[in-house]
Structure 1
């Protein structure tokens, strides 16, 4: 009888041990996959990105300081009306991890976000706006030695017919949206492209007046010091500016765009609408004439495109930084001096890769569960039911 009781106890304990072993294996697999997909993958992908090398002047010239700048666009933080809580949680975690990993790995000196920071700024209430701003500041937190500059977009204050003084001032109160910014001898002009409607509205008139004044100061930086027309105020670095805005300069479509992150083929030939998809011809010509930029960076289309305006001014459309808008988000890395620049693109993890990893892990969990279930049930059937069941355990060649 003692031998029988020992045998029963032995068969009772084995399933419990196997269950605990299964739970341990499942826990390890789930934790490892979550750690990889939600944390480590950002380091593995962004570690491959490197700052481009800018051409230095020939021997005999003083070496210029190089400014390291990151450019990203269209984060579209979801609001309380159209944003589902699960979608918010997923997309904002992705952007937060990507941004924080890029800051830690690449160490930029300044970061520019080219508009459409929020998705519902054009109609959000005061409380909803405050909540959105708080989430943005948590996601895009940065050390004090890194400067963050934000350009306004149509989703932040509305299209021209929705734009109001209240929304513009609300945005400017949170983000120091000065139109002119200089660092390490590099001039940046940040334009409210929604206000470039050209219809003489108060906001539009103020924006154009500010750009004309900036144009005067840029021209004075190229003049001989002490010129009677420029006065004795603080001079800007003698450098052609980089123009930053949300809307792209005028182009008919994305037909000439190419690359993995360009618009889909079926969308590239769709004509762009002036003052909606791109700036008007008139506004584009004004900006090019007033500012004479050496480089233009814009957002809004959510896709990449390189355009050469008037045969001499390059423009780069920066893709969306949000996985909600793209499967392969990216940002631009720029090494700039007062005379030259070099750009490169840093891609973030593709969402397809993350989903495929989760699907593979789910399949592995299923295999582990079935294997343990078979090893648990087979001895039980053979011992207690008197059935002749052959084991499938490796190395066993007998039946019960």
Structure 2
């Protein structure tokens, strides 16, 4: 009986994974998870700063500055092509990045430049409702922030897939607003998928909307100059608009794009296909002529690029916000007034650095376990002898 008691005590003392070791492993695992899945977003985004923009004085007050965030191509996975683990991982990353950016940077308006969903072009009514619910959870925001969403080809389909049903379904959730003005800044939000120019009913309606917006913008210029041709017209701020759309305006390729988040070298010289990778020359010229924008922001390519179009309008292609499309996602921060603007880029945590951190933590855990087991051979030997003596009795 005494031998049984002693053997029980020794067995507790020589258990391969002691309570102290288990506590260490648990603390390390929780700390690494907390750092890689939560804290790292605060560390990285905290370094981002709103760019400075020149402001003019109006009497005893300064011209207001609008702080706007621009992101693109979130591509929330659907029920057909989306593996549950991939969806869980990517959506958690985007949710944490967006919520952290809202908390640290305090933007006044956020624009998402299309391809919100990956399977909107063919999703069923139930799948669409599920995707919308997940989007609204991820990109939730307070009443002090406005969220504006532009149509992308994955949301309603390419031109040959696009239908009035899909467009109405999208607009029911995100609104059909095409002209948005705040703090003296005009934004024109274009359904670039409808800029095919083939005379289809959807395309004709989209172009008619843009011509009406062009008329209103021209009236705002004429009213300031004292013209009476637009009397009775609701007055817009006297400010050249910012053009927002999913497809980029026409460019031959990304050959002249540079930067850490530009297209990879093997893709830069691949010619773009009009009406698929970029808008056609004709559609691009129409938009530049009708709207005379001072700045263009677009998505679709998943890579960064800066282009100067005829007439002096600069275009910035915003990279994808999803780690599924890039190792280094980012978003654009804009400080805008009615006359000027300044942009800066805010990078999110690099995917490979997160994986390296997990790998290093896993290696450290293995070392701890091996070091622990190196101290056990004599204990195991004594335990084996006691066990044999016990069984013989």
Q: TM-score band (shorter)?
A: over 0.9
**Cα distance change of structure 1 residues 122 and 59 upon mapping to structure 2, 3 Å threshold:** closer
Matching residue of 1:378: 378
Deviations 1:209-265 (A, max 9, x none): 111111111111111367332121220000000000000000000000000000000
Matching residue of 2:293: 293
Distance 2:193 2:114 in 1: 10
Q: In the alignment, does 2:211 pair up with 1:215?
A: no
Deviations 1:37-87 (A, max 9, x none): 111110110001010110223898952100000000000000111111111
Distance 2:181 2:223 in 1: 20
Helix, strand or coil at the partner of 1:76? coil
Distance 1:19 1:311 in 2: 73
Helix, strand or coil at the partner of 1:224? helix
**Cα distance change of structure 1 residues 9 and 224 upon mapping to structure 2, 3 Å threshold:** closer
Q: In the alignment, does 2:190 pair up with 1:191?
A: yes
Task: Show structure 1 runs of 5+ residues with no match.
Answer: 387-400
Q: In the alignment, does 2:325 pair up with 1:325?
A: yes
- Root-mean-square deviation (CA, aligned residues, Å) is 1.9
Helix, strand or coil at the partner of 1:332? strand
Confirm or deny: 8 A CA contact 2:192 2:279 kept in the other structure: yes
Confirm or deny: 8 A CA contact 2:261 2:328 kept in the other structure: yes
Residues 370-379 or 112-121, more deviating: 370-379
Confirm or deny: 8 A CA contact 1:149 1:177 kept in the other structure: no
Confirm or deny: 8 A CA contact 2:14 2:379 kept in the other structure: no
Task: Show structure 2 runs of 5+ residues with no match.
Answer: 387-393
**Cα distance change of structure 1 residues 90 and 18 upon mapping to structure 2, 3 Å threshold:** closer
Matching residue of 1:40: 39
TM-score of the aligned structures, taking structure 1 as reference length: 0.92
**Cα distance change of structure 1 residues 166 and 59 upon mapping to structure 2, 3 Å threshold:** closer
Distance 1:238 1:100 in 2: 34
Matching residue of 1:127: 126
Distance 1:231 1:298 in 2: 34
Confirm or deny: 8 A CA contact 1:18 1:376 kept in the other structure: no
Confirm or deny: 8 A CA contact 2:11 2:383 kept in the other structure: no
Matching residue of 1:315: 315
Helix, strand or coil at the partner of 2:49? coil
Distance 2:384 2:159 in 1: 79
Helix, strand or coil at the partner of 2:14? helix
1:200-239 to structure 2, matched below 5 A, reads 200-224=199-223, 227-239=227-239
Distance 2:188 2:8 in 1: 80
Matching residue of 1:182: 181
Deviations 1:94-146 (A, max 9, x none): 00000000000100000000000000000111111111000000000000110
Residues 9-18 or 334-343, more deviating: 9-18
Matching residue of 1:51: 50
Distance 1:220 1:234 in 2: 9
Helix, strand or coil at the partner of 1:359? helix
Distance 2:211 2:245 in 1: 16
Helix, strand or coil at the partner of 2:376? helix
Matching residue of 1:153: 152
Residues 61-70 or 147-156, more deviating: 61-70
The CA deviation at 1:383 is 7.5
Confirm or deny: 8 A CA contact 2:223 2:230 kept in the other structure: no
**Cα distance change of structure 1 residues 5 and 77 upon mapping to structure 2, 3 Å threshold:** closer
Distance 1:235 1:85 in 2: 49
Matching residue of 1:398: none
Matching residue of 1:245: 245
Matching residue of 1:341: 341
Distance 2:378 2:185 in 1: 74
